[in-house]
């Protein structure tokens, strides 16, 4: 079905409560993260919670890359605060940004995870690249108008996703 292209591999309430230790045991070694509304509200700086998460991930053994469609002045300070590599203006859902991020981490699609809050950029790009994807709930409801419009379309896709994978 056409909509399957947009279905995440897993859903989570938050990027902060994923089973990272278990994922490492399963052989994953790199994690790509969206920033806005995945790790912090849109435009917010890195929080203590975000810094602690990345400290935890690095102590487990994960490589990380922040992958954002935002400009460098938004992405670099956040990446510096959480001690992560980053890509700005990644043009998600283009595969190029995801592939570049994996080169930075020295991982392959089978050892990489993507964590983000949007189906049509984050999840679709990860799926197109063969990367296991987690769709998180947006942290904050206040979003730019183009994202609000995409959320309405996402709701339709998620309706069919939940209907197909209802347990």
Work out the average pLDDT over 147-152: 64
Condensed to tens digits (0 to 9), the pLDDT of residues 64-112 reads 999 999 999 999 999 999 999 999 999 999 999 999 999 999 999 999 9
* pLDDT greater than 90 at residue 153: no
Closest CA to 136 of 6, 3, 16: 16
Query: For residue 50, which phi and psi values (nearest 5 degrees)?
Result: -65, -45
Nearby residues of 19 by Cβ (< 8 Å), 6 or more positions away: none
pLDDT at 110: 97
**79: domain CATH number?**
3.40.50.1000
Write down the residue that tokens 């990644």 correspond to. 90
Number of domains in the chain: 1
pLDDT at 112: 98
Higher pLDDT, 113 or 6: 113
DSSP the chain: -GGGGG--SEEES-GGGS-HHHHHHTT--EEEE--BTTTBSTTPPPPHHHHHHHHHHHHHT-EEEEE-SS-HHHHHHHHHHHT-EEESS--TT-HHHHHHHHHHHT--GGGEEEEES-IIIIIHHHHHHT-EEEEEPPS-S---HHHHHHHHHHHHHHHHHHHHH--
Residues spanned by the domain of 102: 2-165
pLDDT at 6: 81
Token readout for 56 is 């935890």
Give the Cα-Cα-Cα angle 47, 140, 125 (nearest 5 degrees): 90
Integer Cα distance of 97 and 134 in angstroms: 17
């Amino acid at each position: 079905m056409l909509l399957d292209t947009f279905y995440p591999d897993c859903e989570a309430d938050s990027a902060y409560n994923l089973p990272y230790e278990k994922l490492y045991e399963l052989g994953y070694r790199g994690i790509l993260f969206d920033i806005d509304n995945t790790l912090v509200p849109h435009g917010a700086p890195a929080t203590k919670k975000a810094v602690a998460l990345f400290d935890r991930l690095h102590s487990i053994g994960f490589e990380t890359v922040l992958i954002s469609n935002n400009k460098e002045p938004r992405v670099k300070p956040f990446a510096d605060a959480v001690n992560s590599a980053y890509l700005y203006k990644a043009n998600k859902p283009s595969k190029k940004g995801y592939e570049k991020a994996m080169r930075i981490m020295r991982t392959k699609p089978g050892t990489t995870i993507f964590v983000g809050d949007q189906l049509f950029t984050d999840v679709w790009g990860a799926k197109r690249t063969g990367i296991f994807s987690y769709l998180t709930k947006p942290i904050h409801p206040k979003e730019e108008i183009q994202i609000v419009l995409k959320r309405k379309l996402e709701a339709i896709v998620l309706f069919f996703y939940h209907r197909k994978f209802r347990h």
